[in-house]
Amino acid sequence: MTTPQVPDPATLAPSEEYDLYFGPNHPGIEGNYSVRVRLKGDVICQAVADGGYLHRGFEKIMEDRLWVQNIALVPRICVPDPVPMEESYARAVEMIGGLEVPLRAQWIRVLMLELSRICAHLFTFGGNAATIGLYTNMFWGVTMRDLFLDIFEEITGARIYHIYITPGGVRRDLPEGVLERIEALLVELEERMPQFEDLFFNNAVVIDRATGTGRMSAEEALAWGVTGPNLRATGVASDVRRDDPYLVYPQVDFDIVTETGGDALARMMVRKGEVVQAVKIVRQAIAALRKVGGPVRCELPNPLAWDLPAGDAYARTESSKGELGFYIVSNGGPRPYRVHVRGASSMHAVQVLEKLLVGSRIEDVAQIMFSLDACPPEVDR
Amino acid sequence: MRLLADIVLMPLIAFITGLFLVLMYRRVRAKIERRVGPPFFQPVYDIVKLFAKKTQISHGVMHDLSIVLLLGGYITAEIFLPVPGFKGLAEEGDLLTLIYIMMVPMLGLALGVGSCANPNGSIGISRALTAMLAYDVPLAVAIIGATMTYGTTNLVEIVRIQQEGGMATWGIATMPLLAIGGYLAVHGMFGKEPFEIYIAPAEIATGPMVEMSGKYMGALFIMQCFQLYTIGVLYVTLFLGGGENWPLFLIKVAAVVFISVAVTNVYGRYRTDKVVRWMWKWPTGIALLGLALVMAK
Amino acid sequence: MTDKPLKSHVRPPQDTMPGGAGQGCPAPDAQTRSIWRRIMDDFADHCRARSLFVLHYCTGCGAIELPPTITSRFDMERVGITPMVTPRQADILLITGYLSLKTLKRVILSYEQMQGPKYVLGFGSCTINGGMYWNSYATMKRLDQYIPTDLFIAGCMPRPEAVQQVLLKLIEDIDAGRANAWQDYYRNYDFYLGNQQRLFGAGWNTPTDVIGEARHYGYYGPGTEGEHTRLLAEGGGSAARLAHAEYPSTALTGRIKS
Amino acid sequence: MSIPARLNEVLNELPAIQARPAGARRVRVDVAPQGLPALLELLKGRLGFIHLSAISCVDWIEDGQFELVYHVWSHEMKLLVSCHVRIAREPGVYVSVHDIHEPAGFFERDIHEMFGVHFDGAPSMEKFILTSWEGPPPMRKDFNTRKHVEETFEWVDYRPDWLKDIERKGGGIES
């Protein structure tokens, strides 16, 4: 390690500004991430995001593994919302290999994606409330999410990393009776939503804290490359599921939830609306799965000697954080030649966060970060 | 000799009651969050564990001294409180002395945290002093109103007046507006949401506590016990007729704390400026109205 | 523990290691303690085991299973385990999964700031042997080389039940006075520092004076000082140096106006 | 699948451009390095390709080239255009498109860090993720992560008794 030149503090000009480190070891930071803010009094005049604490070099180690081995690796890129990762990887491989996904598998994937969206949003509700000291909401939200993890466990055998969606379909069919249990759970969720509503969205303190916090306009959001719920909170009805549809989403009936505030409150309102929409989509998927039969996976060659044809593909998915992109290049070999992951948070966890923090105050740093739903692992990869 | 026994016993009883209050606080919180909560001896375990730490970091003399001020302030305050069966110094001191002594711990903490050189601590303590400034105004108004009603600042006298006349002469009956304003100020004094911005973990990593470890942290835990008890007793003395006997007295103190800890769990925390504005608007306004009524009588 | 000698140097003999022979409280050993002292120690251990503060540091993906463990469904406060915010206040450092080298530095800093007795739990396969990321250039492979680890949880990722089980095991160990891995950091500081230096370079330095603490608290052992700690003295480094090495050029080096 | 006429019209205005459809709502455009900024500018101004989804870099080490892929999306046309550019691997310098698409700043910084490609005019070329890394840019094909790991880290020698028993009988997991 080279010895850097450290200026002696005594030689510096006196200043009214000082630095504060948010993270990586800080409860107000989402995941393992850091934001260094320069403050003047309570007001932030400069913010520098510092990532890489969760860097594992996914893109590199995926080049070192077989196409099937990577299925186990991809969900780990984004921890709170892993299913879109599996879906994007699988679809990019399908686009290169020209694989046809059976209809039943497509519906199952939609079901999984939307359940995962509900989970991720419930988690964000909790996290966002905890940043302003409303821990009760966090306890309730995380526990509610846990019931959904049980469904995942029943379907896939794992709570978090399902490794369920494979190129060409899904790993196995749904177990007996799980559709009924999902329906029962959705009813329970709908019963509990008013409680969250009362506790969070109708709470005077939350409204006071969240209104106007981290506000951005639609023009700014579009120019900064913001996607997903954060963009929709500024009033732009953009959704990959609708604009660049994949799977059976063209057949699914759902609304794009938008708000006009563009602040922390609006972002959480959009997420609340999306949970409602996700419930609607899951119900449609359940109805369809009752009718559609057939295989859940297309025929694949021996996975250990599977050479994908040369080519490249860019798959986009609407994850709970925004637009998720997988760019995969194959050179005709048994391993990917290059995988590039465009993490859904890569914009709003770095550049946008840095911009929004300037002018806000210390107490809002955590709230802005959580309301943007920044997911550091997919930025660091 | 009697005084010596009181000086030892009164803080001890305060500490033990405080442990129960802390336990209640944590249990209530757990129930609202739909979980089981800590075991019965948890507050004791925490404190013993913290004092039994084998390594310890100190940040200088001021840091050590702050703990003395912190605990000393509260232990002194206990002796001035009028509780059933003990005389202590309640007769000699009065309300103003008590309020004055109760400010010492916070100032002591400020001194100690200042020597830690952790910016989170400094921000936290400046917020804490601001919050103190905020809730002291309605509290002062309530206390002025109370002294005017009772015609004395002697705490024993105040308790006697209320107990002789029965429930109708309790402060809460004779000056309800002051009682409400005072209660809101007391809620701020407890340092719970929505007025706990100065320890906000998500913002400044628990502020003043950020550099406290082992025995220092243990002292803060003990301080929390004293704090809940002292503030509860102060309110009971002023507005709820003081203690006729120990069971009734403890029920009253627990009730004061209970309402506060039950309410706190459904709120987030206000920003510092909002805390000041809110405190100077609602509780102060209500208390001033109460004061006007008292003066009109 | 490996049978194979490490590349840099050989670890000290087994009996100075955690769980090996001759472990116990440092100054007066188990035999010579007075009855009073023994009762006090047992009582302290009893309380320590029932009041554990976990450092709130989400080092890796395992952090996603901590909220379920702490919240209403599994409720760890039942056995006295609560999350705490800063390393100063915490007892348990829960390493939730892989550590990138950048995080490992912070973890070591956090660990040294914690007050003993402190416990480290390795969570997930990645802390044991690299796990999923065995061929990744960016993550460390064995946690116990860099900080002494009390217990490991296998799995990727371990379920909340597994986390609970390991915490209960830790409680059992503390109760029996066995969870003393933290003393190993003082006794064999040279070993840990050597491994840290191999990753971070010879100039690696932390603000905590571990050797001084070891002397002061009576944990000084034959492995406390060695060839690696000598490099520390040569570097004469400071905390400021470390902080600025991580944040080059645009360093926002202001000073609070006094 | 064909290229929409409006897009074709714009593409025809620029020299040395090859375009072909690449799946549903995907168009692949190959462009010479000097033509890319103009292409992005035109796409953004005329057809509403305002969303830069990602910039990917591929290391074609055998050709001695880096391939940069700019994925731009038009909310109006509902179309993703991937603009492929190949630049020389040495010295690996290209221009920043930060002035056209603001998100480019993040991706260029990332590529600089992972591949060592320098972007002229980018707002920041500082390290973001690999601040503790002193080796070569790790995503380059000539960096072997497995070899690096073998040299840097130690493994736990996991050899339980039952495995030793099996090995004594001539079995085992190592060939």
- The CATH code of the domain at A15-380 is 1.10.645.10
Rounded CA gap, A121 and A274, in Å? Answer: 8
Q: Is the pLDDT of residue C207 over 80?
A: no
* Averaged pLDDT, B112-125: 78
Q: Match 């006794």 to its residue by tokens.
A: C187
Q: Give Cα separations from C85 to A27, A317, B174, B200 (angstroms).
A: 6, 36, 45, 10
Q: Which residue has the higher pLDDT, A179 or C4?
A: A179
Average pLDDT, chain A: 85
**D89 CB contacts (<8 Å, ≥6 apart)?**
D59, D60, D61, D64, D65, D66
Closest CA to A341 of B193, D57, B243: D57
Quick check: B83 and B145 in contact, CB under 8 A?
A: no
Rounded CA gap, A206 and A188, in Å? Answer: 25
Q: Is the pLDDT of residue C151 over 60?
A: yes
Rounded CA gap, A29 and A349, in Å? Answer: 11
Q: Which residues from C are below 8 Å from D140, CB to CB?
A: none
Nearest to A54 among C83, C100, C159 (CB): C100
Q: A67-76, C204-213, D67-76: which has the minimum mean pLDDT?
A: C204-213
Residue C20 pLDDT:
36
D-interface mutation test, from C137, C146, C191, C192, most D Cβ less than 10 A away: C137
Fill in the DSSP letter of residue A309: P
Closest chain A residue by Cα to residue C99: A54
Residue C15 pLDDT:
40
Quick check: B162 and B170 in contact, CB under 8 A?
A: yes
* Averaged pLDDT, A95-121: 89
**Type of residue at B192:** K
Residues 39-58 on C with a CB inside 8 Å of A are: 55-58
Across the interface, do C116 and B217 touch by the CB < 8 Å criterion? no
Residue A327 pLDDT:
92
Calculate how close chain D gets to C257, using CA atoms only, in Å.
Answer: 30
Residue B148 pLDDT:
83
List residues of chain D with CB under 8 Å from any CB of chain A. 22-23, 25-26, 50-54, 56-59, 69, 71, 73, 75, 78, 80, 82, 101-103, 105-107, 114, 128-132, 138-139, 143, 145-146
**Type of residue at C137:** Y
Six-digit token string for A128: 């966002």
Nearest to C75 among B35, B49, B206 (CB): B35
Helix (H, G, I), strand (E, B) or coil at A205: helix
Nearest to A243 among D57, D75, D101 (CB): D75
Residue D123 pLDDT:
84
C-interface mutation test, from D124, D154, D155, most C Cβ less than 10 A away: D154
Closest chain D residue by Cα to residue C101: D132
A323 bridge partner residues:
A318
Q: Is the pLDDT of residue A174 over 60?
A: yes
* Averaged pLDDT, A256-262: 87
Nearest to A316 among D50, D53, D58 (CB): D53
Residue D119: how many CA atoms within 13 Å on its side-chain side?
26
Residue A282 pLDDT:
92
* Averaged pLDDT, A193-209: 86
| Tens digits of residue pLDDT in D132-166 | 787 788 888 888 888 888 888 877 777 778 888 88
Fill in the DSSP letter of residue D118: E
Rounded CA gap, A264 and A128, in Å? Answer: 9
Residue A14 pLDDT:
65
**Cβ neighbourhood burial of C3 (10 Å; 0-12, 13-18, 19+):** exposed
Phi, psi angles (nearest 5°) of residue D86:
-115, 130
Quick check: D122 and D95 in contact, CB under 8 A?
A: no
Quick check: C229 and C188 in contact, CB under 8 A?
A: no
Q: Report the percent of chain B where pLDDT is more than 90.
A: 1
Q: Report the percent of chain A where pLDDT is more than 70.
A: 96
Q: Which residues from C are below 8 Å from B44, CB to CB?
A: 47
The answer, for C182 touching chain A at a CB cutoff of 8 Å, is no
Residue D1 — pLDDT band, cuts 50, 70, 90? low
Chain A touches chain D, with at least 3 Cβ pairs below 8 Å, answer yes
Q: Which helix (H) or strand (E) holds B2?
A: helix B2-32
Residue D173 pLDDT:
62
Residue A281 pLDDT:
92
Across the interface, do B200 and A18 touch by the CB < 8 Å criterion? no
Nearest to A12 among C139, C255, C258 (CB): C255
Q: Is the pLDDT of residue C31 over 70?
A: no
Across the interface, do A27 and B267 touch by the CB < 8 Å criterion? no
Q: Which residue has the higher pLDDT, D1 or C98?
A: C98
Q: Give Cα separations from C47 to B49, C171, D13 (angstroms).
A: 6, 10, 79
- The CATH code of the domain at D5-128 is 3.30.460.80
ipTM of the complex: 0.85
* Averaged pLDDT, B105-128: 80
Rounded CA gap, A9 and B291, in Å? Answer: 53
* Averaged pLDDT, A36-56: 84
Rounded CA gap, C202 and A284, in Å? Answer: 61
The answer, for B211 touching chain A at a CB cutoff of 8 Å, is no
Q: A218-222, A269-273, B97-101: which has the minimum mean pLDDT?
A: B97-101
The answer, for B196 touching chain A at a CB cutoff of 8 Å, is yes
Q: Which residues from B are below 8 Å from C86, CB to CB?
A: 205-206, 209-211
Q: Which helix (H) or strand (E) holds C172?
A: helix C160-175
Q: Is the pLDDT of residue A313 over 80?
A: yes
Quick check: A339 and A326 in contact, CB under 8 A?
A: yes
| Tens digits of residue pLDDT in B46-79 | 898 888 888 777 777 777 788 888 888 888 888 8
Set out the domains of chain C in order of their start, with CATH numbers: 26-179 (3.40.50.12280), 190-214+224-258 (no CATH)
Rounded CA gap, B56 and C97, in Å? Answer: 29
Calculate how close chain C gets to D145, using CA atoms only, in Å.
Answer: 5
Chain D touches chain B, with at least 3 Cβ pairs below 8 Å, answer no
Helix (H, G, I), strand (E, B) or coil at A49: strand
Q: What is the largest CA-CA distance in chain A?
A: 76
| Tens digits of residue pLDDT in B135-163 | 888 888 888 888 888 888 888 888 888 88
The answer, for C203 touching chain A at a CB cutoff of 8 Å, is yes
* Averaged pLDDT, A353-380: 86
Helix axes B176-190 and B272-296, enclosed angle (nearest 10): 150
Closest CA to C203 of C238, C248, C235: C235
A-interface mutation test, from C73, C163, C238, most A Cβ less than 10 A away: C73
Calculate how close chain D gets to C40, using CA atoms only, in Å.
Answer: 39
The answer, for B33 touching chain A at a CB cutoff of 8 Å, is yes
Q: Is the pLDDT of residue C240 over 80?
A: no
Average pLDDT, chain B: 83
List residues of chain C with CB under 8 Å from any CB of chain D. 2-4, 6-7, 101-102, 105, 128-130, 134-138, 140-142, 145, 198-201, 246-250
Quick check: C211 and C229 in contact, CB under 8 A?
A: yes
Residue C106 pLDDT:
85
Residue C7 pLDDT:
38
